[in-house]
């Protein structure tokens, strides 16, 4: 038996022991049942309403709660789920390790959270503290400890009982996490193929419940990977709620299952609580008989926030306001973040320039700076720039590091970057770099540092964040560094200092550092 098969079999046995053998389906034969599923995903630490270009008052748990309450008032059978990446976003969340978010989810009455890759932004102790505070289960069936056991206090699935039926909900996350997760926090786990785990589990869940739903953090790509592959290859799943790619499905993505020939719906609700997906699901004898999906925008104009949750959130806002309300400068126009994973952006330019400036301001030499686009998380609006805004743009607790990297590894770095258009690992670079990508072949068409081709035998000094320096986002060649120095200054603090250094006024512009042909 190969090791992959061993761990899959080990998991299935562990599941049966951990979750127990619940009695089978209870729905009367030939009687249609109805369930409403409310879904969010990629919440990313957005507990309070926020500015999302071009409008203010968007999202927020108080308004979300009002919508959920309205749905519950008119529907007897409601399932409220989140498809992961609960962590890492606004300072009201980050400063307190998502405590405000957990309180809000508890008060809304979420039924479950499937873990996303950003649940590994925190160390094990913090993860366990978050789970302990949660009044809802955390799910993940395809991530295990080195010995094959489940992550402590994480369940592979739940079975929720309603008056006339039972629903099994399976949780899975992207296997990419072993590459994209913080290396310090993912190193002790095995990330198994979620589709293979589901092939083993779903038939067993069908014997325990009347219908099986998958709430996953796998991403909507095509039928060769992610949730669409899950829908295509695994029979017996009624529908899939997805996260990870921040996809906004105005209507379900329908995927034909290879085994049954039936279409399976995949839905996702963008991110940050801007929308809640609402699925009206009808089923009978274990088969879907009807499915209607709508995306409901959540904002303070449409929904008055629930007062008790607003009061709870306000206490966290007040705690950070004194520190983060300080104005550090002015943006003459918007620095959008929409395309930072796809191309050179003004926001990516100023972030990387701030890294290189900071290193040189400390009296050290630096050839260029390199940043993963996925580490830049929010638009920088025009007008006054408060510290809070910078914390939203750069929410991760990453310090700035300086490494010495052989030219051969610099070439490998950009070879890898050329394959990441559209992904969080997409490169943003400082002004010393000229990087041309052939999009058709996903290869480097041209690469120059300070006007010269990269010399494989030369050693280059590179500024970057500590996450990348540890080989994050699949950039394993960065671990080959000849030397490594961590400045211990948070990346966002260097950005603040840089804006002040520039005189406090910044304007969005790009200068051709990255070209995609």
pLDDT band at 253 (very low <50, low <70, confident <90, very high): very high
The CA-based diameter of the chain, rounded to the nearest angstrom, is 76
Distance of CA 68 to the CA centre of its chain: 23
Task: Give the C-alpha separation, 156 to 137, whole Å.
Answer: 10
Pair 437, 429: CB distance under 8 Å:
no
**Could you count the other beta carbons within 10 Å of the beta carbon of residue 363?**
6
Which pLDDT value is given to residue 22?
A: 55
Determine the average pLDDT of the residues in 212-218. 99
Report pLDDT digits (tens) over 331-340. Answer: 999 999 999 9
Which pLDDT value is given to residue 470?
A: 86
Kindly tell me if the per-residue pLDDT of 14 is higher than 60.
no
Mean pLDDT of the chain: 93
- 7-16, 25-34, 155-164: lowest mean pLDDT where? 7-16
- 9-18, 332-341, 499-508: lowest mean pLDDT where? 9-18
Residue 446 bridge partners (DSSP): 436
Task: Give the C-alpha separation, 92 to 99, whole Å.
Answer: 9
Kindly tell me if the per-residue pLDDT of 18 is higher than 80.
no
CATH 3.40.50.2300 fits 327-516, yes or no: no
Task: Give the C-alpha separation, 12 to 18, whole Å.
Answer: 10
pLDDT band at 50 (very low <50, low <70, confident <90, very high): confident
Q: Which DSSP string do the residues of 386-429 spell out, in sequence order?
A: EHHHHHHHS-S--EEEEEEEEHHHHHHHHHHHTT-TTSTT-EEE
Topology annotation, domain 3-316:
Purple Acid Phosphatase; chain A, domain 2 (3.60.21)
Task: Give the C-alpha separation, 46 to 60, whole Å.
Answer: 6
Report pLDDT digits (tens) over 135-155. Answer: 999 999 999 999 999 999 999
Task: Give the C-alpha separation, 252 to 291, whole Å.
Answer: 9
Which pLDDT value is given to residue 382?
A: 96
Report pLDDT digits (tens) over 480-501. Answer: 999 888 887 789 989 999 999 9
327-516: same fold as 3-316? no
Kindly tell me if the per-residue pLDDT of 404 is higher than 90.
yes
Task: Give the C-alpha separation, 48 to 316, whole Å.
Answer: 10
Among residues 196, 194, 60, 187, the alpha carbon closest in space to that of 116 is found at: 194
**Could you count the other beta carbons within 10 Å of the beta carbon of residue 264?**
26
Domain boundaries, the chain: 3-316, 327-516
Which pLDDT value is given to residue 53?
A: 67
Which pLDDT value is given to residue 322?
A: 78
């Amino acid at each position: 038996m190969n090791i992959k098969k061993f761990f899959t079999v080990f998991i299935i046995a562990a599941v049966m022991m951990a979750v127990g053998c619940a009695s089978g389906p209870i729905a009367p034969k030939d009687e249609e049942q109805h369930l409403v599923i409310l879904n969010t995903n990629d919440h990313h630490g957005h507990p309070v309403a926020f500015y999302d270009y071009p409008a203010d008052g968007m999202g927020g748990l108080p308004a979300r709660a009002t919508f959920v309450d309205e749905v519950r008032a008119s529907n007897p059978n409601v399932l409220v789920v989140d498809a992961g990446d609960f962590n890492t976003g606004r300072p009201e969340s980050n400063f307190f390790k998502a405590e405000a978010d957990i309180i809000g989810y508890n008060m809304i009455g979420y039924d479950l959270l499937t873990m996303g890759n950003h649940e590994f932004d925190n160390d094990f102790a913090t993860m366990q503290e978050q789970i302990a505070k949660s009044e809802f289960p955390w799910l993940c069936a395809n991530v295990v400890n080195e010995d094959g056991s489940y992550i402590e206090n994480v369940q592979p699935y739940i079975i929720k009982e309603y008056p006339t039926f039972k629903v099994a909900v399976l949780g899975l996350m992207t296997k990419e996490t072993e590459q994209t997760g913080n290396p310090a926090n993912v190193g002790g786990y095995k990330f198994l193929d979620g589709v293979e785990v589901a092939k083993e589990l779903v038939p067993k869940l069908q014997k325990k419940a009347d219908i099986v739903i998958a709430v996953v953090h796998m991403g909507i790509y095509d039928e060769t990977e992610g949730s669409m592959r899950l829908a295509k290859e695994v029979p017996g799943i009624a529908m899939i709620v997805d996260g990870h790619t921040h996809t906004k499905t105005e209507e379900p993505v329908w995927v034909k299952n290879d085994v049954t020939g039936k279409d399976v719906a995949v839905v996702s609700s963008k991110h940050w609580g801007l929308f809640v997906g609402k699925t009206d699901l009808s089923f009978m004898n274990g088969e879907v008989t009807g499915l209607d999906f709508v995306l409901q925008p959540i904002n303070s104009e449409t929904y008055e926030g629930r007062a008790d949750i607003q009061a709870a959130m306000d206490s966290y806002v007040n705690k950070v306001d004194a520190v983060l309300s300080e104005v550090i400068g002015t943006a003459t126009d918007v620095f959008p973040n929409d395309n930072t994973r796809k191309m050179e952006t003004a926001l990516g330019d100023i972030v990387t320039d701030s890294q290189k400036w900071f290193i040189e301001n400390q009296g050290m030499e630096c050839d260029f700076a390199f940043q993963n686009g996925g580490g830049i998380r929010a638009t920088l609006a025009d007008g006054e720039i408060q510290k809070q805004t910078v914390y939203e743009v750069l929410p991760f607790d990453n310090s700035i590091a300086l490494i010495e990297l052989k030219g051969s590894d610099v070439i490998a770095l950009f070879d890898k970057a050329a394959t990441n258009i559209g992904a969080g690992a997409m490169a943003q670079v400082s002004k010393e770099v000229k990087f041309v990508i052939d999009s058709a072949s996903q290869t480097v068409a041209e690469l120059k540092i300070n006007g010269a081709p990269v010399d494989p035998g030369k050693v280059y000094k590179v500024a970057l964040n500590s996450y990348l320096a540890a080989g994050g986002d699949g950039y394993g060649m960065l671990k080959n560094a000849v030397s490594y120095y961590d400045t211990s200054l948070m990346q966002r603090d260097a950005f603040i200092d840089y804006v002040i250094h520039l005189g406090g006024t910044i304007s969005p512009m790009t200068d051709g550092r990255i070209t995609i042909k």
